[in-house]
Structure 1
Amino acid sequence: MFRDVNECDHNGSMEALQPILAQLNTGSPPSGLPSPSQSGGVARGGLPPRALRRIREHIDGNIDRRISVELLASLANLSVCYFVRAFKKSVGVTPHDYLIRRRVERTMQLLSGTDMPLSQIALEAGFADQSHFSRRFRQHVGMSPRHYRWLRP
């Protein structure tokens, strides 16, 4: 999926996901993370709004495929390391964390709205396999995908 983005200041935390999960649980449409316009424009050293929109659209349109940080950096016309720093400055998380969160959001939609088997949901959202999906889902949501499905109406 990504080459090691830890070299460019990788830092993930569950606290950063809580506002997204709260928004999803209130029934409002999943918006991912705040856009630059919501935070008052482009942060100094961040990505321009047009490049950020292009990156987000690419991720959302290809969520079920392998997405490399090199490809995302090329969409923004930046080097990989500079892109990772600029993306994190603009969005608040690294591109890898953002991708995983979008995939988890996608699986939450599929778990709530379909009766697809978990293995198929994992592949549909771009996870390597059901084990990878379950691990990441539990890490971000705090419960197993099966338990989440049982709790959803």
Structure 2
Amino acid sequence: MKPRIVVGERSVDSRGMSLRFATERIEQPADWCCHDSSRHLIYVHRHGELRSMETNLDWGPTDRTLPRIGDTWVVPAGVRCTSVVTGDISGFCEISIPENALGEVVHVPRRKHHDPLILQLVTKIRSVAGRDDALARLLLDSAGETLRLLIRDTYTTTPPATESERDTLPPSARESIVEFLETSLETDINLESLAHLAQMSVATFIKAFRGAFHTTPYQFLLDRRIDRAKTLLSSTRLPITEISAAVGFSTPNHFATTFRQRVGLTPRDFRRGR
């Protein structure tokens, strides 16, 4: 993968948030990795068209749909999101927020959530950046505070008081979740169904799951799918395309790419080496 080619960049600080406006050339495949252990990251697609985009998420399945202008990604602190993109020119705004800057709330991960209002606010902030007159300072402060409140209202959740006493998974819930995952590898599993099984909100479940298993639900599920695939490759003569479907991958190519990332070998080479 070639280095990222940034053709324009400006940073603005407002109301405890750092906003980075960047424009990149992406004629060749570019690898976008979004991760910060102590800051929440929000990305707003501002301009440009992408020809392809494959996103791998800590909290959900691989996504290949193309974004629209105004689409927003929310990557909570400690969570990882990576994308391989191609196109011509892409402009985005990265909003970086310290983990506790918005109070005792939990950021809920989102992908391609269309939000015209957040686009308008970051566009206004960008338009007054660099000016030092009184009106510009007032506009920057006002738009920044509105943006901060919008993010808190739209992309966070406050666990009810009853849930604050139970943000861990008891042994019985862990067993039920593991059993459910092991018997449902070929299905489309979502966070809502897992949280319902644990009788928690999605936000509380993400925190509790990470505390119990030291990983995210999606990465845990992915590990199980790869383990099952290794067993099937070693002990059966099933075609690789059938194994791909049997362990829940949407396409054989996605299966082969993920397997190689995790194991260091393609499924075919793994089978040959056993």
Q: Place the TM-score, normalised by the shorter chain, in its bin.
A: 0.7 to 0.9
Question: Partners of 1:73 and 1:121 in 2: how far apart?
Answer: 28
Q: Distance in 2 between matches of 1:48 and 1:5?
A: 29
Q: Relative contact order: is structure 1 or structure 2 higher (C-alpha 8 Å, sep ≥ 6)?
A: 1
Q: Which amino acid aligns with 1:145?
A: P
Structure 1 residues without counterparts, runs of 5 or longer: 13-43
Determine if contact 1:137/1:145 at 8 Å carries over to the other structure.
yes
Aligned partner of 1:136 in structure 2 is 258
Q: What whole-Å deviation, never above 9, does each CA across 1:24-71 have from its counterpart, x for those lacking one?
A: xxxxxxxxxxxxxxxxxxxx9431111111111100111111101110
CA distance in 2, matches of 1:103, 1:5: 26
- Does residue 9 of structure 1 match 2:67? no
Partners of 1:64 and 1:104 in 2: how far apart? 12
Pick aligned residue for 2:187 from 53, 62, 65: 65
Which sections of structure 2, spanning at least 5 residues, go unmatched? 1-58, 62-72, 82-165
Per-residue deviation, 1:111: 0.2
Cα distance, 1:55–1:6 mapped onto 2, change above 3 Å = farther
TM superposition shift of 1:135: 1.0
Letter in 2 for 1:67: I
Aligned residues: 121
Is it true that 1:118 corresponds to 2:187 in the alignment? no
| 1:58 aligned counterpart, secondary structure | helix
TM-score when scaled to structure 2?
Answer: 0.41
Deviant stretches of 4+, over 2 Å:
1-12
What is the identity, as a one-letter code, of the residue corresponding to 1:106? Answer: R
For 1:105, the equivalent position in structure 2 comes to: 227
RMSD between superposed Cα atoms in Å? 2.3
- Counterparts of 1:78 and 1:6, CA distance in 2: 21
Name whichever structure is richer in strand by fraction.
2
Structure 1 CA distance for aligned equivalents of residues 251 and 74 of structure 2: 22
**Cα-to-partner distance string for 1:100-150 (whole Å, 9 max, x where unaligned):** 000000100000011111110000011111011111111111111111000
